[in-house]
Structure 1
Amino acid sequence: MIHIADLRPSELKRLDERMSNPTYANEFIEALATFLKETPADGGADSDLIYTTAVKLTNAKVWNHIEISSLAKALVDVPSDAITVFSQGLPSKFAQLLIYSLQAEQISNLYLSPADVEPTIADILQAEIRGIKGLMAGGGIRAGQNFPQGVWGLPPGVEPAQPYPASSAVKPSSRVPRTRLKTE
């Protein structure tokens, strides 16, 4: 196990070459997540430790070997205070991408909630949007189908429309023929 806070200067110098090994890089990411979860960002000495660790890792060029998406997946459960302090010691572009990736990871985790959890309004809206996009992409409304009423429902006193019977569907033979323009 790698102890992030206890890395010696000689270990930090070798860290750049050791991070090229994917197994070591994954172990390092897990150790970093553990360090950030266990070290409280209290505004005092522990916050300084988080910040200086980020600066040391930046100087050791660790971030050249780590994919932001894998780092975000590992750090998704880290308290936001620790992430804020840690990101201040990172290169600004890397910190912005990490924060963005963490937010995206947290949002995606919301939609991967267990089935026994009641759907939120966001879940319902996403399902509604997917349904409308399906209709717009060519799904269309066919004979015998109702248009989805959606989250908003119908106004009070308005009954939902009944589906068209399949017999009233437009038959291909009853279509008006299209005329083509003559090209010269």
Structure 2
Amino acid sequence: MICATNLSYQYPRAEKLLEFPDIELGETENLLIQGPSGVGKTTLLHLLAGLLTPHSGEITIAGCQIHELSNQKLDRFRGQQLGIVLQKNDAIHSLSVWQHLEARLLFSKTSTTFMAMQSLLSELGLTAYKNRKPSQLSQGQLQRLGIALAVVHKPRVILADEPTASLDDVNCQKVMKLLLRQSKKLKANLLVISHDQRIQSSFQKIISL
């Protein structure tokens, strides 16, 4: 399902070449990629998401070598096959929670039912807030909105960047349970990039950078 081999990346004007271990995941397998700040965890996630082009190596997701796609085809692939939970909330202030989901489906050129959207909001505890805009949501609610946006289009792969970094122990476990439940429901791979030692027990496969 996911295969990354001989990956490396070098930022412009940077002396250091970042080199990454190989990744091979079968269908529905999950992976935790750990390491301290500055070792390239987010860079690796951006490579897997097709947001960066590797200096060397190959990335295959669902049989598609994403590093060989044109920009247009890569945008389409990313929109349909990947769900990305970023550290920084990128909610649009003028849209309600419900409108965010509609916009995500439009962007990915996929569709789902009204009941499926309602069910997703219910699972994430957002039903009562579906007509609220980001400025009316708490940080926890914004984070759950980010998860909803990452899974509403039923992606094959969910990538999460430090999803528990700023959370207390209780909310850390809640967020991990939400991500694991959604990935299992969608039969998707879940890759989490984190330096949070508390979530190790949620994964059978772990890579340290």
Q: Specify the structure having the higher radius of gyration (Cα).
A: 1
Is TM (by shorter chain) over 0.5? no
What TM-score does the superposition give when structure 2 sets the normalisation length? 0.26
Normalized per residue, which structure has more strand?
A: 2
Normalized per residue, which structure has more helix?
A: 1
Higher relative contact order (CA 8 A, sep 6+): 2
What TM-score does the superposition give when structure 1 sets the normalisation length? 0.29
